[in-house]
Structure 1
Amino acid sequence: MSDLKVDGFKTSEIITELSSVFESISDEERKQQIKKINGIFQLEVSNAEKQTAIWTIDMKKTGTVYKGPAKPKADVSLILSDEVFAQLAEGKLNGQKAFMTGKLKTKGNMMLATKLDGLLSSAKAKGGKAKL
């Protein structure tokens, strides 16, 4: 899991938790999530020090999370701050509201981006004690 961590990013903790949830679900549940979401998200997250880290959530083929740019190409790229991603993951901020207020930018399939909220909340529910 440590290969997902990037120092100075709250997002890396959340992504690590998300990866744990993905690994703990059954193959059948993973296939259902992949079928439901059918997309690759690339997260381009910047922190307060203006550093940028990239993670990919593959919910099209593998149902996994990894550090680095999407391979193959992402269906949607989300560009946001570390703080905004943490608020989205905790349910304190709605994705649409973040987009409308300019806190979240997208490249690619914007409608797919709306499915990230559902993915994060379902992972939070499955994670139980996970701090998503």
Structure 2
Amino acid sequence: MSDLHYPGFKSSDIIASVGKTLETSTDAEKQSQIKKTNGIFELRVSNANKEEAVWTIDLKKAGTVYKGPAKPKADVTIILSDETLTELASGKLNGQKAFMTGKLKTKGNMMLATKLDAVFKSTKAKL
């Protein structure tokens, strides 16, 4: 597995665990997750030092997570802070509430962004 960590980002561990979960899933589990999600997420995460980390979660074809912008184009780009992503993944913050309060912005298929919660939940269930 490629290194998914960016120094200075708490959410690196979360993204790495999503990657590990997908990597260790059986083909059937991976195909099921791809079928349920059917999208490519590009996460643009900024930290307190105004640095940006970019990760892509491909749940359309490959079922992989990697550093950098989406190739091919993301179905939805989610722009948020490191803290917001950490709260979303832990379940402390609801995605809809984060969007409504301006803590999370999207570009592209906004309805697909709602499926990211399920991705985090299934990762948590497997860990």
Please report how far the alpha carbon of residue 30 of structure 1 lies from its aligned counterpart in structure 2 after TM superposition: 0.2
| Paired letter, 1:89 | A
Verify: 1:26 aligned to 2:3, yes or no. Answer: no
Segments of 4+ moved more than 3 angstroms: none
CA distance in 1, matches of 2:30, 2:73: 21
Aligned ranges for residues 35-74 of structure 1 at < 5 Å?
Answer: 35-74=35-74
Please report how far the alpha carbon of residue 2 of structure 1 lies from its aligned counterpart in structure 2 after TM superposition: 5.6
CA distance in 2, matches of 1:14, 1:116: 13
Match of residue 85 from structure 2: 85
Please report how far the alpha carbon of residue 24 of structure 1 lies from its aligned counterpart in structure 2 after TM superposition: 1.2
> Could you tell me the percent identity over the aligned residues?
68
| Paired letter, 1:107 | K
Q: C-alpha deviations, 1:21-73, integer Å up to 9, x for none? A: 11111000100110110000000000000000100000001001000000000
Query: Aligned-pair RMSD on alpha carbons?
Result: 0.8
Structure 2 unaligned spans of 5+ = none
Deviates more, 1:11-20 or 1:98-107: 11-20
Superposition TM-score, scaled by structure 1 size:
0.94
Is the 2:2–2:66 contact (alpha carbons within 8 Å) kept by the matching residues of 1?
no
Is the 2:87–2:93 contact (alpha carbons within 8 Å) kept by the matching residues of 1?
yes
Please report how far the alpha carbon of residue 96 of structure 1 lies from its aligned counterpart in structure 2 after TM superposition: 0.2
For these two proteins, the number of residue pairs brought into alignment is 127
CA distance in 2, matches of 1:17, 1:116: 14
2:118 is paired with a residue of what secondary structure?
helix
CA distance in 1, matches of 2:50, 2:15: 19
Superposition TM-score, scaled by structure 2 size:
0.98
Match of residue 95 from structure 1: 95
2:3 is paired with a residue of what secondary structure?
helix
